[in-house]
Chains A and B, each alone.
Chain A
């Protein structure tokens, strides 16, 4: 008698199937890789999909310039270890030569869209793997696993192709590309349980550590190249960790003493806030902040 696949095995098999479909049907795929937990999971799954051969795709990082050093070091270590090619598209370059202007609120996440789209065009990437999950946010819940983008990188949620069985339709015209989300059906807790099971290494800032932080809009922010506390904001030294890793200006830490994966999983299970709600100022801009950014071509 065959027993049902464990949930993590079922999700892993689905993700591997998606990676292999893209390898079989596209000419120039790329994996978006920031060094964050979701994109690290993506790369881990890609390695498993093609073992013992190497991953047949390069990596692309859209660098806001507002990075945590630990994450960039981790990114470079992984790239080196896997022997993969890493392209970096830098928001800072766009600001330096005037193609983009720094926003009043200092947040650079929305500024990533143009460098991303330019990198896709310049490298003629036809499939772009992202670590988006449908449980993250309401607009993402409507996203397909293979999602067409027009020549301007735009997403039209009302014109999505129906996605049936495990038959993916990746047809696209010249200049268009397809965004592919292999971990669409994973939840935050699945990601952590799998990281634990597979012993996947992550940047240290995902684990509790002491850091100087200040409170803004209900989030604990850290000082960095993106700025620091205003005169009215007081700095405290707290034990914190990051649940998501994005642009430093808008990614908050949560108070935590979780230094092991067991403790993190216990914390995520008990949490009463979603990871984006807790730590991402960019998603609080409006009720449809993510939908609006996605329509413009964001991840």
Chain B
């Protein structure tokens, strides 16, 4: 029985009940086991609660349980008979951009929570903006605590309509957005259909998660693969068991990497960047033998027809659909560092498998996430999103983030501390309309 895998993220403001929703999802899919439930029940009684606090299932650190808040992105796992889920649970208040950006970066779908009593609030707009910026392909608006508004259809329609308009203005297609009325506390429309929302004809949250396509848009793009490592067996490493096939191993030279976009097949014409030499793929190898084709996400080892000097940091790309090779990158930064961006700062940039020194220019603009407009900025502070130009020491083959997430993204690293201070998106991926 084969299952596929959906990576998704949750985001919400403080007290929207996100931990409870995640707890409910785990509990109702029977992904929480008896010893975990007992631990939660014990802790709930200790806190003087009459019913188990499902949020305790997900708040993992001592400080989180003590303060009753979620501090850091946590990863959760559950499965149904047809699909496995990896959930990045991102907290709403502390360092919201930092956490939402992290969770959204690997997500194929995001669940955004609002409180039915409050509707779309400023933080909803901020989160939705980050999800749009990070190009999360699909978004679900879960309108939580519908029990507290008497399951009133009109309240929900109003919120759904307002969110629809927001999502459209952020560039989400209508079929990429789903609104679901839920009560995480009671369990309405999370896994089981609510008896109180007969007017709602859409799927429950789990039904929706189970049915959305998991193939990301990357597969349909031109082939890209950053080279991670050159596999070249050396005689000194050969064991006696290898002796019979040493002749074959002796000439083996494979370029190991994870396909970042597109599909690669033997016979494909590829170009090695940044140098620009063209050659042909002869083998798409795995430890289990050669493949006829490998798509985005697959780790493979590629052999080429010509003996070219290729090393870690180079990128193999489809000939005829090459990315731009440049030392000047216009990018959008999500600033994650505790100290603000200093214009002219010398940092390190990691793109694909290459790390290169860079100089970051002064911000050209900062996004005001309240008004969704760009405003002038002197610097970028923690949680700010802004546009800059980055000058790189090495030429990089870059795609627009809006086209290819994997080759349109980079990290900025502060060399003395080694900290990741910014998430970089090449171009202006937020298409505000």
Contacts and interface: CB of A to CB of B under 8 A. Distances in A.
A160 B105 CA distance: 17
Contacts of B215: 2-4
A134 B75 contact: yes
A278 interface: yes
B297 interface: yes
Contacts of A169: 350, 411, 413, 418, 420
B243 to A, nearest CB: 13
B298 A277 contact: no
A199 to B, nearest CB: 12
Interface stretch (B55-63, B113-121, B173-181, B356-364): B55-63
B229 A83 contact: no
B409 A165 contact: yes
Nearest to A54: B237
6 contacts: A51-B231, A52-B249, A53-B233, A53-B237, A169-B413, A272-B33
Contact of A5 (B101, B234, B297, B405): B297
Nearest to B423: A164
Contact of B4 (A6, A142, A190, A271): A6
Interface residues of B, number: 78
Interface stretch (A9-17, A29-37, A117-125, A234-242): A9-17
B299 A274 contact: no
A272 B298 contact: no
Interface string B293-307: 101011101000000
Nearest to B240: A83
A21 B228 contact: yes
A17 B228 contact: yes
Contacts, number: 187
Contact of A274 (B36, B62, B86, B295): B36
A161 B233 contact: no
A38 interface: no
Contacts of B101: 162, 164
Interface of A: 2-7, 9-14, 16-17, 20-21, 23-24, 47-54, 83, 134-135, 137-142, 148, 157-158, 160-167, 169, 171-173, 184-185, 187, 189-190, 271-274, 277-278, 287-288, 291
Contact of A135 (B77, B98, B239, B351): B77
A37 B431 CA distance: 48
Interface in B230-263: 231-234, 237, 239, 249, 252, 256-258, 263
Instruction: From A49, A157, A158, A165, name the one whose CB has the most chain B CB atoms within 10 angstroms.
Output: A165
Contacts of B327: none
A160 B94 CA distance: 14
B328 interface: no
Interface string B40-65: 00010000000000000011111101
A20 B229 contact: yes
A23 B256 CA distance: 11
B268 interface: no
B273 interface: no
A150 B347 CA distance: 22
A256 B228 CA distance: 44
Given A24-B229, A164-B423, A10 B418 contact: no
The B interface is mostly helix, strand or loop, or mixed, namely: mixed
B377 interface: no
Nearest to B293: A2
Interface string B195-233: 000000000000000000111000100000000110111
A6 B2 contact: yes
Contacts of A172: 418
Contacts of A139: 60-61
A169 B419 CA distance: 8
Closest 5 CB pairs of A and B: A277-B35, A171-B418, A138-B60, A48-B287, A51-B287
A140 B92 CA distance: 20
A5 B4 CA distance: 6
Interface string B68-105: 00011111110100011010000000000011011001
B34 interface: yes
B229 A164 contact: no
Pick from B35, B43, B72, B229 the residue with the most CB of A within 10 Å.
Answer: B229
A216 to B, nearest CB: 17
A158 B231 CA distance: 37
Contact of A162 (B59, B102, B234, B405): B102
Most chain B beta carbons < 10 A, residue from A12, A48, A53, A291: A53
A169 B65 CA distance: 29
A160 B81 CA distance: 34
B237 A163 contact: no
Nearest to B56: A138
B100 to A, nearest CB: 10
A172 B213 CA distance: 39
Given A7-B5, A142-B74, A277-B33, 20 more contacts: A4-B5, A4-B214, A7-B4, A24-B228, A52-B249, A54-B233, A54-B239, A134-B77, A138-B58, A138-B61, A158-B72, A160-B72, A162-B102, A164-B101, A164-B423, A167-B351, A167-B411, A272-B34, A273-B34, A291-B60
Contact of A53 (B35, B58, B231, B351): B231
A167 B106 CA distance: 11
Interface centre among A2, A135, A160, A190 (most CB of B within 10 A): A2
Contacts of B351: 167
Contacts of A17: 228, 258, 299
Contacts of B71: 157-158
A49 B86 contact: no
Nearest to B412: A169
A1 to B, nearest CB: 9
A142 B72 CA distance: 7
B339 interface: no
B409 A167 contact: yes
Contacts of A162: 73, 98-99, 101-102, 336, 420, 423
A184 B86 CA distance: 11
B353 interface: yes
B2 A167 contact: no
B312 interface: yes
B409 A164 contact: yes
B401 to A, nearest CB: 10
